[in-house]
Amino acid sequence: MKELRLLLFSLTLALAGSSAFAAGPVAWGLEDYASEFKLFSETKTFDKASWAALPAQEQERELTLARNPAAARLAAVRGWHAAAMRKWNTRELKGYTAGIKEKDLQSAELWLGRAAAAELKKKLELVRAALKKAPAEGLNNDDVLALAPHLTPEAVNDLRAMRAAAALTPGKKTADPKSASTAALEKFSASLPANDPAAVAKFFDGSNARGDAAVNFPGAAQASRAQAGGQAAALKAAPATQVKAKVPAPLPQQKAVEPVKSSAWTSDAYGITIETAQGKQSFRDTRAAEAAIRQMPAASVKKITLYGHGSPGMQLVGPSQFDALYTAELLDGKMAKDGVIQFAGCNTASIGGATLNPAVGISMVARRLLYFSLPYWQDRMDGVPADQAKQQWEKEWDADLARDTSTLVKGAVVCGYRTFGLVPGRLPGLTRVMGNQEATTPGYVAGKKACYRDGQEVAAQ
Amino acid sequence: MTDLNYILETVLLLAAPFIPVIAGLLLRRKFASAEGAPRTGVQKAGRLTGNILLWGGVLGILFMILLLFHFSGKL
């Protein structure tokens, strides 16, 4: 009996002690809350003194409120830094060297540490020096070697050509009968998205259709290189604003994501929305969303909605593409039990069985025309044999992204649309009235939904 | 032969939305009443069916146009 009393007494003491410890003040900069304190510092919400003056309960509340914004901010800065450390093409070179300011480097240092910021600073100094040297003295082999880890070969070539271009440029501008058309052409080529076949296709025909194996344009690049000084012109024409050179602005603290009000007539709505036990987070920047997902603990995602244009076997979210493999790799182990992956895009499930619904029927007719007939005849006109074109497109036009993903993400419910999904909020005019041009969730979708778990159809969720 | 099949299929698919429109127009004409004369029950039912097919078909065509815009990234 005595032992039992002693045990109970010890347990009571331990419980009281732990609760006292939990309710105690949190020291400024404590490693467990590193991200939250970085956010406080960056947004100047608190400093060491004002933090110490807060009661313990208030501190706990502030830390809880700051958790999600801090994680999102860290993911955004990390994504930005990773992009800035990749090899730059000519357009990015211009954008980053002009865009990155001391403040951005300070943000990088705060969030990612001194080494990461120093790495970027070194790259920036090297490229800025080369940019200064290139037109005046030209680049020697040592310069080219030093730049090779930081720039694409095309960008290095463009830099090397600046000296030749500078030599060719006359002191005084002479009247050129073709100057107007040349200027127009330069403006046009500068607005072309470089090294991104999907973006190029979108630029020309606005098409989001799949079936676009990565295509490079070596011929075009060679033709461009053949023009003396053309590169230098491209360097000048490359608009700095197209590159996200600056560290993303800090997220407003403790504020829910609100739909951006826009006055545009048409919609450019897309985004990723993640629901966890901590709440809901919406992202328009898909890189930030992916970074946030990768940081989440296992089995924590209750629902994820990928919203954008869809096509058989593919979901687009802004500039990013999600097929079954990529989605499964991204969400591997992250889905909670009975968690839902919602592809909110047209034709992201297969057509399914026969139906009497005329709206569904007409959507199916349109799908067959757009994703079979049209590409089939395009292939035939390009000289592809009939059997080969038939085999290719018969397989593709009725692809089922939701089912394929469900076979890869075990246990999760994966939903897609069997039809084209009409989102009222996307209709021109209505978009303007509703002010949701950059919405990250679709709201109501008029379409036929299908859901799968482990490859088997289940009730729509 | 493969091409021939798919030409036929494409023509039929493209024609599909027009079929209810044509059927609706034919029904409206078939069940039209003489000028001034009151419509019989059969005429009323025939014209109602014709109207549903006609306007349903028109909506279907508009829907297809909407989808085309959507596909080409205009929406």
Q: Which of A370, A380, A428 minimises the CB distance to B71? A: A370
Q: Over pLDDT 70: what percentage of chain A?
A: 72
Q: Which of A376, A387, A426 minimises the CB distance to B75? A: A426
pLDDT of A373-420, one tens digit each? 988 998 999 999 999 999 889 989 999 999 999 999 999 999 999 998
The span from the CA of B24 to the CA of B18, in Å, is 10
Q: Nearest to residue A313, comparing CAs of A405, A378, A244?
A: A405
ipTM value for the complex: 0.76
pTM recorded for the entire structure? 0.50
Q: Which of B13, B63, B70 minimises the CB distance to A368? A: B13
Q: How many CB atoms lie within 10 A of CB A287?
A: 20
Residues A291 and A342 occupy one common structural domain: yes
Q: Are A71 and A35 in contact (CB under 8 A)?
A: yes
Tell me the mean pLDDT in the region A200-221: 39
Tell me the mean pLDDT in the region A312-338: 92
- Say if residue A43's pLDDT is above 70: yes
* pLDDT of amino acid A14: 45
For chain A, which residues lie within 8 Å of any Cβ of chain B, measuring from their own Cβ? 202, 205-209, 266-267, 309, 346, 358-359, 362-363, 365-366, 368-370, 373, 376-377, 380, 386-387, 390, 420, 422, 426-428
pLDDT class of A108 with cuts at 50, 70, 90: confident
Which stretches within A217-275 are classed as H helix?
218-226, 230-237
Structural domain count of chain A: 2
Classify residue A425: in a domain, yes or no: yes
Residues from chain A contacting residue B75 (CB–CB below 8 Å)? 266-267, 426-428
Residue A80 DSSP class:
H
Residues A90 and A230 occupy one common structural domain: yes
pLDDT class of A184 with cuts at 50, 70, 90: very low
Name the pairing type of β-strands A456-458 and A271-276: unpaired
- Say if residue A329's pLDDT is above 50: yes
Residue reference for tokens 């990155």: A100
The span from the CA of A53 to the CA of A33, in Å, is 18
Classify residue A372: in a domain, yes or no: no
A350, two tokens: 């297969």
- Say if residue A231's pLDDT is above 50: no
Classify residue A334: in a domain, yes or no: yes
Residues A78 and A225 occupy one common structural domain: yes
Residues A338 and A412 occupy one common structural domain: yes
pLDDT in tens, chain B (75 residues): 788 999 999 999 888 889 999 999 999 999 987 777 888 889 999 999 999 999 999 998 988 888 777 767 666
Domain that holds residue A44: 21-168+209-251
Residue reference for tokens 């003194």: A49
Name the pairing type of β-strands A413-417 and A335-344: parallel
Q: Are B54 and B22 in contact (CB under 8 A)?
A: no
Residues A282 and A241 occupy one common structural domain: no
Tell me the mean pLDDT in the region A346-352: 92
Residues A411 and A327 occupy one common structural domain: yes
A36, two tokens: 């939250």
* Residue A11, CA distances (Å) to A5, A401, B2 in order: 10, 54, 81
* pLDDT of amino acid A226: 39
Looking at chain A, the number of H-run helices and the number of E-run strands are 20, 10
